[in-house]
A and B are shown apart, each in its own frame.
Chain A
Amino acid sequence: MASTSRLDALPRVTCPNHPDAILVEDYRAGDMICPECGLVVGDRVIDVGSEWRTFSNDKATKDPSRVGDSQNPLLSDGDLSTMIGKGTGAASFDEFGNSKYQNRRTMSSSDRAMMNAFKEITTMADRINLPRNIVDRTNNLFKQVYEQKSLKGRANDAIASACLYIACRQEGVPRTFKEICAVSRISKKEIGRCFKLILKALETSVDLITTGDFMSRFCSNLCLPKQVQMAATHIARKAVELDLVPGRSPISVAEAAIYMASQASAEKRTQKEIGDIAGVADVTIRQSYRLIYPRAPDLFPTDFKFDTPVDKLPQL
C-alpha cells in the first residue's frame, strides 16, 4: 500500500527537535519517524489513500473498496458521507421489481458542482495527456475561483477550461487556446474571457508565451527529426530577437519557423499540414513566412545540414 504524498494542506506534523526534517513513514506500524533523531512523531497514522486502485476499464458493478474513495481534503471540504448501496438480496426489491432505497445520490451536496468540475477537468486533461501535477494545479485554481464566487455566473466548464489553460502556463508548458478548445465544449472567446477574469480575481499574472514552448510538441506531432526541431527553435528565437515579426502571435512565428526548417531539410512539410497540427490558418503561416524569408540565411543555426540550400527555399 503506497503512502499518499498529498501532505500539502494537511496540518504538518514535525519533529519538535528537527522541524525541517522530512518524516519517514513506516506504514506497517502506522508511524511517522524523524530520520534525524529517530523520534516517533505520529502514532497510529491512518492512511487516507485509496484501498484499491481503480482503472477506467473496470466494470462499475463490483467495487471491492470497503472504505469509500480516497479522501481529498485539499479540495472538497471533507468527503465524509454515508451512501446507501444497491441491494443484493430479495428483500431489497419491492413488488414491482424496483429497488427500495433508491436514494443513493445525496453526498456532499454543497460541493457537488465542484466535484463535477473536477471530473470534467480530469476528462479534458486525459484527452491531451496532461500529467497529474497540472490536473492538481487546475483543481486548486478552480477551488480558489469557486470559493471567491466572483465568477459565479459563468459556466463551470468555461471556468474549468480556463483554469486548465492557466495551470499549463504556470507549469511552464503552455497549451494554445485552440488546443484547450479542442478538448472542451466552450468556445475560444469564452475561455479567453474567463481567463482574463480569473487572472483578475486571483490577482495573479502569467508569463508570456515564447516560441520555444511549443516547438517540441508541434515537431513531434509532425514527426520531424531532432535536427529540424532544433533548427526551427533557433530560427524562431532569432526572428523574435531581430524583431522581424512585430505584432505576430508567437504561434504563427513558430509555425513559419518550422515550415522554413522543414523545407530546408529532407523532411518537407506543407503549410497545410503544419496549419492542421497547430490550428493556425495557412494564410497566417504564409504571412509570417514572408516576413522571415528575407533574412533566412541569418536565421539558420551555423551547423545545420541543408538538404535544400537557402536560396532554393520556396518563396510565397
Chain B
Amino acid sequence: MGSRSSHAAKIPDVDSIRRETGFSQASLLRLYHRFRALDRTGKGYLSRLDLQQIEALAVNPLGDRIIDSFFPDGSLRLDFPGFVRVLAHFRPVDEEEDGNRDPKEPEPLNSRMNKLRFAFQLYDLDRDGKISRHEMLQVLRLMVGVQVTEEQLESIADRTVQEADEDGDGAVSFLEFTKSLEKMNIEQKMSIRILK
C-alpha cells in the first residue's frame, strides 16, 4: 500500500481529474495502475486493440460498442483522463455530493441521467439521439445471434419500439428510453462498487 501511494504524484493532472470525475485518490491510483497494465507497450495511451484484449469485453455482445464509447469522435488514442472520464459513469451515486453540489458546475458523470445516457449511446449507433428500429435490430442480432429468425427479431424490435415510443416517430429517443427504464434501478445497476 505504501509503495503504491508514492506513485500518486505520477498521475498527470490528478487534481483536475479528481474534480471532474469525483474519484477518490485511491481509486484514481488503482485506475491508473489498471490503465498502465492495459497499455502493454507502454505508449502512454490505449488503443482499441488494448481494450479488445480484455476477456470480459470479448465475450460481451456489445463489447465493441463499449469500446467505441471510450473513443468519442473517432479518435484512436485514449489517454488517462479520457479513460477515467468514461469510467466515472460507473461510480456509485453519492448522495452527499448532489446534496450540496454547486448547481453551476456540470452535473457529475455518475448521475442517473449520465448513466442512462451512456447506456443509450451504446444503442444509438449514429448518435442522432434516437434508437431507430434498425439500430435495435442490430443490437438484437448481436445479442441473440442466429438462433432467432429474422422475422421474429423484427417483431421484437417492433414491439420494443411500440412499447417505448410515445411520440410516434418510430424510434426511441433518449427521453423515451429513460422512461421505459424508469423502474430500473439504474443508480445501482450501473455502479461498480470498487470505483468509489
On whether the two chains bind one another, the answer is: no
Query: Hey, which bits of chain A sit against chain B, CB under 8 A?
Result: none
Query: Hey, which bits of chain B sit against chain A, CB under 8 A?
Result: none
